[in-house]
Structure formats: C-alpha cells, structure tokens
C-alpha cells in the first residue's frame, strides 16, 4: 500500500498553527516551523542551525524533538514506504558518485568500451567506493541540435543496451545506478509520450534503480506511481530542498550549498525521517571538510563529484582520506545511523570539538569533528562507564582503555585539523564476531591517512595539430582563400558555463557572479601563410570522398544520419555536410591533402586583419547569414554578402565548424567549435550556445564518442599550410 500525505502544504501549515506552532509564510514554497523559542526550522533550508553555547544544547534538543513530533502529527506521517524490504538499500547508500558519462576513465574511446569494474575499483582506492552512480548524460552538450534529454541516453555508446549492461555490472558489484530527469528541457524535440512515461520506459529499459531530479526539489506528478508500476525498490532523489510533505515517498535528497553553524547543525529531513538518506555537496568548493562534517554528524552521505559538467574540481588528498575512512564505519553501522537513538551535540572535553551520540541496543557510538585548523590530542569525550562493555577508536582501529572515575569513562584520541573521529562502545556480542577484522582494516586505512589540502591540478594537453601529408598544388588550392602569414592578438570569448574554459578548471569564485557572462581570453598568435576553404565541405563533396576513398568509421551510429539511402538529401547537395564527427572530418581532410583548421586559422580567416566582430562588419545584419529562418541548413554560397574579408562564406551561422583544437586533461576531452549555427534551442539558458555567433566566439564542446558527437548542426572546412 502506497502512502500519500493526507494534507497539502496549506493544510500542513494550518494544522501546525492549530497545534500552537508558529508558522510564518514567506511564499508559496517557503514557511518556517517553530517548535520552541530555541528551534526554528525553515522549509527552504536543508539544515537547522545549532546554538554555539553548550548550555543551550539541552533546550535546543528538546525543541527539535517537539518540532518533529508536531510535524509528524500534522503530516499524519507513518513512514511505511521506508519499511518495505525493497527499499532497505537506501539506508546504506552513503556514497553517491555524480558520474559524467564523458569521463575518459569510465568510457575509453580507443577501445569503445565502458570500464565499469576498473572505474569502481579506482573509486574504492581513492574514496572508499561508491554506493550509487548518477549517470549524467546531456548538459552541457544539450541544445547543440534538437536532440532531447532522452535521445542523449539513446545515443550513448552501445545505446540503451550498452547502458543496461553498465547497470548490470554495477549491480553485480553492489552499486546502484540512477538516470537523470531535466524538467527544463522543453525546447528540443518532443517525445510522443509525456516526460514521466519516457522516464519510466527508460528506467525499465536499462534496469536503473531510480531517478535523479535535476534542479527539482521533488518529482513531477505521477512519477512515483509510474516507478511503482515498474517494480519495488525504485527511488527518487531531488537536487533542491525536499518539502516535508514529500519525505514519505522520496527516499533520498540532496543537501547542497548550505552554510552550517559553528556547532554542527541538523539536517531537517533526516531528523524527521531517520531512514531518509541525504547527500551533501558543494560542487565548486575545493574544501570538502564542511560537507564531510555534516555527513558524519548526521549519519548521512556525500556526493563525489570531481568532473563538474566538464570542469575539473578534484578532491584534495585530505578529503579523500577522510571519506575513505568514514564510509566503512557508516556502512557497517547503517542501522545505528538510521535509528531513533540520535542525540545531537553532546558535551566534549576539547575546544573546537563537537560530538553526536548514536545508540541502538547494546551499541553506543560518538561521532566527532574538529572545527579548528590545529590538531587536537588528549581527552575528547566523557561517556558512561558500563560493565562488560569495551571501547574502541574507530579511526585508529584500536581498543581504548579509558580513564574511569565516578562511573564515567574519559576517552582520549587525536583529531587532525578539520578532521573527524569516532568511538564505539559495546559488548563482544553486539559488535559482532568479525569486529576485530573490521578494526584491522580501519587501522590499515589510518596508516595511509593524508593531510595535504592542495588542489590536485590536472594539466590540459592539446592532443594533435596535424598538417597535410603532401605539398599543396593547384588542385588542393582550388576553392580556397590564400591568407598571408600574420601576427595578431587573438581575443576569444566563451560564455561562462559550468563546463569551464580552456584550462578545464573552475571554482566557486570564477562561476558565481559571472554565470552566463562572457569571459575573454587573449594570446599573441603568429599564423604562417595558409589557405582555407571558401565554404564548409558540402554533402556532395563528402559523397565524392566516400566514392573515392575506402572510409568506413569504426562506429557508424548517426554517421550521415540525414542522408537517404546512402546519398545526400535531394536539394541539399550543396548544403554543409553534418552528422560527422571530428574523426570523420579529419578523414576527409587527410584524403584531400589538407587538415582541419586550427582555431587561430579559423578565427583570422573569419575576422580578417581588422578583427571584425562579424565576417562582414561590426553589427549583425539581416540577410548576411543563415539565422534559422528556414529551420534548416542552407546552400553554402547562399549569403554572398556575409563573406569574410578573405572571401570565406558561412563563417557565421548555418553550421558550427570543427577546429583542430582537441584537448584533454585525462578525464575530459573537448574541442572548440566556431561560427554558430542556424539552430537555437529555446526556453532555457542551460542549453548550449546556438544561433549565429561573432567571429571571436568559441563554444567548448565535450567529446565522448562519434555516435554522440555527430550533430545536425556541426560541419567543417579544411585548411592547408602554404609554407
């Protein structure tokens, strides 16, 4: 039987008012619930702040209990969904990996294979392993053409069958997998069914374990019922703050970008439903210790997210070490962290050290954090001395012989700067027969404890800058513009997006305050004399290449998808060829004795010596380029008034063009595409840049494999060195 809340948000507020709870409404989606003068709980924030002074903690805890009782009563909350055996995995799913499917350590383009087992093995070494993967697929690529978010899953290597095998491999290794829903994707191709039906079919097709709700605090109407129709145990997890009245059917939620109090606060939803799993994240912050502290003090999980939509935001050695030693404890004692015996903020014996008590049957555990920047060593917490019980330092992996006086046991240990620690007390029976082996494993992890907080930079390498294999002759130069050598300051603009820039690294300060604004990059450039095609390569020219050369791509998915019966569409012979990957373009260029132009060559040919904003001048003018009026590509010479100073057509609009600018940091490959296209996805700023673009504009285009990289809006032209 599926539990549905028996009151709406408005009814919940009314009920709480009737119970004497103060409710202040700020908007349709925000209200405060105040259970006592010491406790204020905001529906728009994931965390309840704690008072700094220890003498206030007892009344604060009483306020928390009062609030929980009244909120559960107003909701008529029974939590029966959390009692279903199929959902039991949720309470131990602490480590969630936000996996860019473009990650080169997950998918190897050279072999054309997913390396699931190797990826998860490395994750065990680095982070202590993952309990679930969020299979991220579309953004920041979506919007280059009209493919929608579901198409991106279909166009992944191996299609849906390939993804199903990925999920099955995860399951064999004890890892769950989520697909992603993007509610803002409303401006691309529409499915024949509703988004909810499409999601359900996708979950069923690849045997996923749930849906991650991008930008959403809660699932759209009917998604819960659709997932229930597939089978038991499927989970929904939102990015935003989950409303109280939806905790009953959303087993997971994110706690993202919150500011904690000095004394660690309490995650609101976890406090109401102890079996609810929350995952902490602040993706652009290079110091993960605040989120690790919150997870440890609340018995909740973490999001491991090092490739943020193509930007590298790696974890420091210290933070990886903390998580690596924390996760085995959380997984072993998951029942403790999801039970009712939770006492936040108990007294400690050291400055800047805070502790939480967890109790269940014959086990007591104290989780500790050091908020200070200096190590703490010595007495940490004073606990009851119980006859027949034993005490252990869970991080050092050793037994503790406490100093017992007047019925109390003083536990001593060491906490690293911004570190965490923990003690457990119990009987031999309650701790289990394999507890000595567990301690030994923790001791091994302790020996590898790391302290470096240095950001692990990853150099970005340019992969190749090929040149033609033959000396140019008149046949090669026919239909090309000859451009003399030149030195100039190349000024390039990229829109500030989460995929980053050339260097492939971003942080919080780079992004926020500059989101979607242009970022400028300058470099001094010298281009030796070269020639460049007057037009993009056409369908007819590419067809001639295929007739003359024995080219067959290894991966044929979406190769020349728009052709009919192996031939260009009627009437589009002289339109730019599209649905070709960078590799397909290179193959043509090599056959023609040419190369793909570098970014420098492309931009100089487009802007000329005067560095024009558009190929024809300084302002956008109608009739100069294909701006999408016909909804498709146009003949490559259709706009003679839009030619560049060197006579090149279509360097603004019609189709984006590949440039020889492929780069990698070992985790993400990308290149810069130039010129813009006829297509512009409408409705959201999350879409990739579209429409005609200035000569100095570049879009960072993530590369995965040819089947996905081939687009309806990306073509190319060729260049050749004259020196």
Sorted by where each starts, the structural domains of the chain and their CATH numbers stand as 9-75 (no CATH), 91-256 (3.20.20), 316-454 (2.60.40.1180), 467-721 (3.90.1580.10)
pLDDT at 473: 67
pTM of the model: 0.94
- What's residue 26's pLDDT? 28
Candidates 219, 318, 243, 198; CA nearest to 27 is 243
Predicted confidence at residue 593, as pLDDT, reads 92
Give the percent of the chain with pLDDT over 90: 88
The whole-angstrom separation of Cα 637 and Cα 458 is 43
What's the pLDDT tens digit per position in 455-483? 999 999 998 765 555 466 667 788 999 99
Above 90 in pLDDT, residue 119?
yes
- Band of residue 505 on the pLDDT scale cut at 50, 70, 90: confident
Q: Which two tokens stand for residue 122?
A: 């490395």
Distances (CA, A) of 351 to 255, 265, 516: 27, 17, 44
Kind and range of the H or E element at 507? none
Confidence of residue 37 (pLDDT cuts 50, 70, 90): very low
Q: Is 378 left (phi over 0), alpha (psi -120 to 50) or beta?
A: left
End-to-end CA distance of the chain: 77
Average pLDDT of every residue of the chain: 92
3 state SS of 32: strand
SS3 342: strand
User: pLDDT category, 722, cuts 50, 70, 90?
Assistant: very high
Average pLDDT, stretch 647-668? 97
**What pairs with residue 363 in β-bridges?**
360, 426
Instruction: Reply yes or no on whether the pLDDT at 179 is more than 50.
Output: yes
How far, in Å, CA of 504 to CA of 279, rounded? 25
Strand partners, 176: 132
For residue 200, the model assigns a pLDDT of: 98
What pLDDT score does 512 carry? 78
254 forms beta bridges with: 279
Where does the pLDDT of residue 44 fall: very low under 50, low under 70, confident under 90, or very high at 90 and above? low
The C-alpha torsion from 499 through 675 and 706 to 200, rounded to 10°, is 60
Is there a cis peptide before residue 140, judged by omega within 30 degrees of 0? yes
Tokens of 210: 């749930």
* Average pLDDT over every residue of 558-585: 97
Cβ proximity of 670 and 662 under 8 Å: yes
- pLDDT band at residue 6 under the 50/70/90 scheme: very low
User: With 80 as the cut, is the pLDDT of residue 28 above it?
Assistant: no
Which pLDDT belongs to residue 504?
Answer: 82
- Is the predicted pLDDT of residue 670 greater than 60, yes or no? yes
Q: Which residues contact 552 (CB under 8 A, 6 or more apart)?
A: none
Question: Distance (Å, rounded) from C-alpha 228 to C-alpha 234?
Answer: 7
For residue 389, is pLDDT > 60?
yes
- Give the integer Cα–Cα distance in Å for 707 and 338: 44
Residue 149 confidence (pLDDT): 98
Quote the DSSP letter at residue 314: P
- DSSP summary character for residue 411: E
pLDDT digits (tens, 9 = 90+) for 263-295: 999 999 999 999 999 999 999 999 999 999 999
């Amino acid at each position: 039987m599926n539990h549905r809340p028996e009151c709406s948000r408005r009814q919940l507020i009314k009920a709480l008012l009737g119970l004497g709870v103060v409710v202040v409404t700020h908007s349709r989606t925000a209200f405060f619930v105040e259970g006592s003068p010491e406790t204020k709980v905001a529906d728009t924030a994931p965390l309840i702040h704690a008072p700094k002074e220890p003498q206030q903690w007892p009344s604060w805890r009483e306020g928390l209990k009062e609030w929980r009782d009244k909120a559960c009563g107003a909701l008529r909350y029974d939590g029966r969904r959390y009692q279903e055996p199929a959902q039991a995995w949720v309470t131990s799913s602490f480590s969630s990996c936000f996996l860019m499917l473009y990650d080169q350590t997950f998918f190897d383009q050279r072999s054309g294979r997913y390396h699931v087992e190797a990826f998860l093995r490395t994750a065990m070494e680095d982070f202590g392993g993952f309990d679930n993967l969020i299979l991220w697929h579309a953004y920041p690529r979506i919007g280059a053409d009209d493919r929608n978010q579901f198409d991106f899953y279909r166009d992944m290597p191996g299609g849906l069958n390939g993804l199903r095998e990925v999920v099955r491999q995860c399951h064999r290794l004890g890892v769950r997998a989520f697909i992603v829903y993007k509610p803002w994707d409303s401006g691309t191709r529409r499915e024949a069914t509703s988004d909810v039906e499409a999601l359900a079919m996708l979950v069923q097709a690849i045997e996923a374990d749930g849906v991650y709700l991008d930008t959403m605090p809660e699932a759209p109407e009917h998604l819960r019922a659709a997932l229930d129709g597939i089978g038991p145990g499927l989970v929904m997890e939102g990015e935003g703050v989950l409303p109280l009245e939806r905790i009953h059917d959303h087993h997971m939620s994110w706690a993202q970008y919150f500011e904690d109090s000095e004394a660690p606060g309490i995650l609101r939803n976890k406090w109401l439903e102890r079996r609810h799993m929350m995952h902490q994240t602040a993706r652009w912050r290079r110091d993960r210790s605040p989120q690790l502290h919150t997870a440890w003090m609340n018995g909740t999980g973490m999001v491991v997210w090092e490739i943020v939509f193509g930007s590298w935001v790696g974890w420091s050695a210290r933070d990886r070490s903390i998580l690596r030693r924390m996760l085995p404890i959380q997984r072993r004692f998951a029942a403790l962290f999801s039970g009712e015996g939770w006492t936040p903020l108990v007294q400690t014996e050291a400055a800047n050290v805070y502790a939480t008590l967890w109790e269940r049957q014959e086990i007591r555990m104290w989780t500790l954090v050091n908020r200070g920047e200096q190590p703490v060593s010595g007495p940490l917490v004073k606990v009851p001395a119980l006859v027949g019980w034993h005490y252990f330092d869970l991080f050092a992996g050793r037994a503790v012989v406490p100093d017992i006086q007047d019925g109390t046991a003083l536990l001593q240990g060491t906490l690293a700067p911004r570190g965490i620690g923990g003690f457990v007390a119990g009987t031999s029976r309650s701790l289990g027969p394999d507890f000595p082996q567990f301690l030994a494993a923790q001791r091994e992890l302790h020996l590898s404890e790391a302290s470096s907080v240095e950001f692990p930079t990853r150099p970005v390498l340019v992969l190749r800058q090929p040149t033609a294999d033959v000396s140019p002759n008149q046949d090669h130069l026919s239909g090309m513009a000859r451009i003399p050598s030149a030195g100039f300051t190349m000024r390039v603009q990229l829109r500030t997006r989460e995929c980053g820039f050339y260097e492939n690294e971003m942080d919080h300060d780079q992004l926020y305050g500059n989101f979607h604004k242009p970022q400028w990059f300058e470099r001094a450039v010298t281009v030796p004399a070269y020639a460049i095609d007057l037009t993009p390569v056409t369908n007819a020219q590419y067809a001639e290449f295929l007739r003359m050369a024995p080219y067959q791509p290894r991966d044929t998915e979406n190769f020349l998808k728009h052709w009919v019966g192996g031939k260009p569409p009627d009437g589009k012979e002289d339109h730019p060829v599209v649905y070709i990957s960078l590799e397909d373009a290179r193959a043509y260029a090599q056959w023609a004795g040419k190369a793909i132009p570098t970014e420098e060559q492309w931009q100089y040919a487009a802007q000329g010596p005067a560095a024009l904003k558009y190929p024809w001048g300084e302002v956008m003018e109608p009739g100069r380029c294909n701006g999408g009026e016909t909804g498709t590509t146009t003949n490559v010479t259709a706009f003679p008034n839009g030619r560049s100073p060197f006579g090149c057509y279509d360097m603004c609009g019609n189709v984006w063009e590949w440039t020889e600018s492929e780069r990698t940091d070992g985790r993400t490959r990308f290149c810069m595409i130039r010129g813009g296209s006829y297509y512009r996805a409408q409705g959201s700023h999350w879409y990739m840049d579209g429409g005609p673009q200035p000569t100095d504009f570049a879009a960072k285009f993530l590369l995965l494999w040819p089947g996905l990289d081939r687009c309806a809006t990306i073509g190319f032209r060729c260049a050749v060195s004259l020196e």
